[in-house]
A = this chain, B = another copy of it.
Amino acid sequence: MPYSGPMNETTPTRTRALRSDAERTVRTILEAAERVLSQNPAASMEQIAEAAGVARTTVHRRFASRDALVAAMASWATRRFAEAVDSAHPETTPPLVALYQVTANVLRVKIDWGFAMSRAMTADRDAARVHADIGERCVRLFARAKEAGVLRADVDPLWAQRVYYALIHETAQSRDGDADVLAARLVDTLLRGVGTGQTLT
């Protein structure tokens, strides 16, 4: 019988010490998997186990299958993602401030869990739902920004959102620099672009 895994939060456990030991192992594996898979999505369980410093069998005891591992990564990263968005209070803070805060917080998560987040939509039902919800919140934030005169009225909101996501993705790729600085550059580029305002027409 495969170990159902500590992913199930409701699992009762006898002793404190043993439980935290197991959880530490799980965390180590998740982090190693993110490290390895972000570089090579086709990496084997063996490579992941090696990067985590454990035997391959241990990985299989904690995660019933490869898919289960990826789903667990997605779930874990999505939780951190939601926290990152929540802590910026994007519905109550002024749009521009919220944009900076959300961006900086999300960048911190995305830099460490890029692969897991990229798989969240397909690997885990709950994670996909959370991502979709956050997408909705992003739409609402952009709508508020437009009302506040921060966003141009002649720009398709969906396009604006896609550009925003693309810039986050691009920024998270190169892990250089502080998240706040990166966020500032990102938002600056998103809103003002890289040009002087001169156009063809």
- A residues at B contact (CB < 8 Å): 41-42, 96-97, 100, 149-152, 155, 159-160, 162-163, 165-167, 169-170, 174, 185, 188-200
Contacts and interface: CB of A to CB of B under 8 A. Distances in A.
Nearest to A198: B150
B191 A194 contact: yes
A195 B191 contact: yes
A150 to B, nearest CB: 6
A192 B189 contact: no
B167 A200 contact: no
Contacts of A152: 192, 194-196
Nearest to A149: B196
Given A163-B194, A189-B163, A96 B200 contact: yes
A198 B149 contact: yes
A183 to B, nearest CB: 11
